Chains A and B, each alone.
Chain A
Amino acid sequence: MSQREDIKKTYKLYIGGKFPRTESGRYIKWVDANNKGAVNICRGSRKDFRNAMVTARDAFSGWCSRTAYNRSQILYRIGEILEGRRSQFANELILQGSSKKEAGNEINQSIDRLIYYAGWADKYQQIFSRVNPVASSYFNFSYPEPTGVVSALAPNNSSLIGLVSIVAPIIAGGNTVVVLASEEKPLCSITFAEVLHTSDVPGGVVNILTGYRSELLDHFSSHMDVNAIVYCGNESEEIKLIQENAALNVKRPIVYTDENWLSKNVQDPYRILNTLETKTTWHPVGI
């Protein structure tokens, strides 16, 4: 009896709720931490980003008009599904160089972070809203709205927890996102896309690309339909580039220089606020 061969996973992109290969046909040979196996990661292109932006924009109006309760439940659901797929993530994290214990901890933290932001999804509005006591016959209130479509560059040195820590506050706030996964540790990102896909997250709300940051940075930051860009890292030339490009359409550049994404210090509602806009409405009070 011959030995059974494994079925190997093909790592693709996640765009508009579908898993296409890169339109460019290019790939990056990714070798695991022990130099034992290799997989072909899609080398996402400018056009993949463009396509992802179209679906993110299309998905925006639907996502931002979901009830906060619904968004909260969907984020919670992502945590639930992730919990059920622990072993798959553990294997990938180990392939990417984590110890078994480290992998377990990262998965725990990732699930907890999703639950943390799931809880915020229907509360940050109350923290960041006000009734303003204007000195005239008007009822005046301010509340946060999503800024729109966000492009994001996930932390390079982190895999699952970095990606989750960036995506969760963006979508909790009602934005849609196109995120470039860690270049060094891309495996979990596409598996996370599968989690999203089975978690009632509407197609297009989260789009995940893999590829070279150096190649895509310019496009992520210059695209005129991006409302905000979240950058994780410390490369001063990169930061300068995205901040300059942000000027093209006054997109909001948000830079996170955090190193330790497992820490609870990188989670708070102000990170949701970073991709929100304050809207103030006036109305007369009379009969």
Chain B
Amino acid sequence: MNKKINKSDFKTDWSYSPAPESTDHIKIVKKNDLFINGKFMPPEKGKYFKTINPANEQKLADVAEADKSDVDKAVKAARKAYDKVWSKMDPSERGKYIYRIARLIQERAREFSVIETMDGGKPIRESRDIDIPLVSAHFFYYAGWADKLSYAFPGKQAKPIGVAGQIIPWNFPLLMAAWKLAPALATGNTVVLKPAETTPLTAMKLAEIIQEADLPPGVVNIINGDGKTGRAIVEHEDINKIAFTGSTDVGKMIMKSVAGTGKKYTLELGGKAANIIFEDAAIDQAVEGIIDGIFFNQGHVCCAGSRLFVQESVADTVISKLKDRMESLIVGDPLDKNTDIGAINSKMQLEKIKMYVDIGQKEGGSVHQSSCGLPEKGYWHAPTLFTDVSQSHRIVQEEIFGPVLAIQTFRTVDEVIAKANNTPFGLSGGVWTDKGSKIFQVSKSIRAGVLWANTFNKFDPTSPFGGYKESGMGREGGLEGLMPYVNLV
């Protein structure tokens, strides 16, 4: 017991009041049509599906479902825009349109953040501070490449490919749209983009901006739907390139489907990244990195640091600090500015996560969850970690795509590198040590496309992102991100 030194009787039981982001300034279109050839138009079959807010299960809007004939219409518009306008335009003019899109997104950033959070469940802090700023930054970066491609590929000329079909996931809806659109447009391609069916709304807002930016009709077409619509895009014979971000299973289906067609493709697929903490690491910052690595965006992150490896001599300390830190994570209303962990994107995904947590326990793993309460309505999952697991456990091998961390300990550098690489995936990795030479050795030895040393889950438009092995092929971001959208002649 500490000695009482202060004479005042003032006592506080301070807690944060709710701090919800206001939604009165945003407008959600209640019925979203297809965006084809610069216009919003209803789908051929007249079918619409609903999109809900995963935090309260309330319907937000209806969204047009594109079938084959709609896809065909969109591809035709894209083809015409490619042949007649976009591929022929002076590249510096192309660049100006892209800059304009970047600026308009900055101007309407708050509106995009709020809708992203409502439609997808991610905390407003993330959509406001990470997703949407990166979206405009991405357009801004690639806009400048449009008239500089001859400097990007020494000895070669970069020519556009044609019409790109782009299929994006629900975890970073607008950011993934930007990752796909910006380099495609800068290099002179036209696009048919399909957002994920659970998160279509920010892409439809982007369509408004594309109209506002006076982009020539047909250069960007945005249509919605589920896997069937995606398949129709992949199989459409007038599409020259497929860009897909999503699960490895679907990526493999796409590879099979386009085999022999001459279509080019890039794939950003799953991951099961090793995040490695050495005993000489800055432990408190490493703990933050572990937290960011697995709980960022509810763990709906392909490059999440879902396999934690801690050197035995510091394992007890790290795990104890990690558990303490998990307690301070605020789980709840995604629109609350203080929320750290929002809603799971969909019921289906929640069930998948719960299934894995069950499997982990059945296979003998020790589970620990933060003691936070969860709202009754909506889809929620507490931050979770497993100890007493090994490389043979399914929760260590398979991508869960949720806030579930599997912890293993290790003794030597060789051992941890072998285990880190013992996976079909190779998207990302983390290494924490104060020793520079060890960083280079370990990051070189890990077979993955992005290595975060003494940090995790950092993104930038100038920085290439993409995986080795079954985590995909091709890179997005940076100069490398131009490569998938050009033919070098």
Contact = CB atoms under 8 A, between A and B. Distances in A.
Given A127-B154, A278-B449, A281-B453, A249 B470 contact: yes
Interface string B441-453: 0011001111111
Contact of B458 (A130, A239, A277, A282): A282
Contact of B260 (A132, A134, A140, A243): A243
Contacts of A145: 444
A: interface residue count bin: 35 or more
Interface string A264-280: 00001110000001111
B30 interface: no
B451 A250 contact: no
B218 to A, nearest CB: 30
Given A244-B256, A247-B255, A250-B267, A283 B453 contact: yes
Contacts of B468: 147-148, 227, 277
A41 to B, nearest CB: 30
B240 to A, nearest CB: 16
- Which has the most chain B C-beta neighbours within 10 Å: A127, A132, A278? A278
- Which has the most chain B C-beta neighbours within 10 Å: A145, A252, A268, A277? A277
A254 to B, nearest CB: 11
B298 interface: no
Contacts of A243: 255, 258-260
Interface residues of B, number: 47
B259 A247 contact: yes
A270 B156 contact: yes
Contacts of A227: 468-469
B466 interface: yes
Given A134-B460, A244-B256, A250 B449 contact: no
A51 interface: no
B438 interface: no
B34 to A, nearest CB: 30
A25 interface: no
A277 B252 contact: no
Nearest to A269: B155
Judged by DSSP, the binding face of A is: mixed
A250 B251 contact: yes
A236 B137 CA distance: 42
A6 to B, nearest CB: 47
A206 B348 CA distance: 48
Given A243-B255, A250-B248, A279 B451 contact: yes
Contacts of B255: 243-244, 246-247, 250
A140 B155 contact: no
Nearest to A227: B469
Contacts of A130: 478-479
Contacts of A281: 443, 450-453
Interface string A153-187: 00000000000000000000000000000000000
Nearest to B137: A135
Contacts of A283: 439, 453-455
B100 interface: no
A264 B229 CA distance: 44
Nearest to B460: A134
B460 A136 contact: yes
- Which has the most chain B C-beta neighbours within 10 Å: A140, A239, A248, A269? A140
Given A136-B458, A142-B463, A250-B252, 9 more contacts: A134-B462, A236-B260, A243-B255, A244-B256, A248-B252, A250-B267, A250-B470, A281-B451, A282-B452
15 contacts: A130-B478, A132-B460, A133-B462, A134-B458, A135-B462, A136-B458, A237-B260, A243-B259, A244-B255, A248-B252, A279-B449, A279-B450, A280-B451, A280-B463, A283-B439
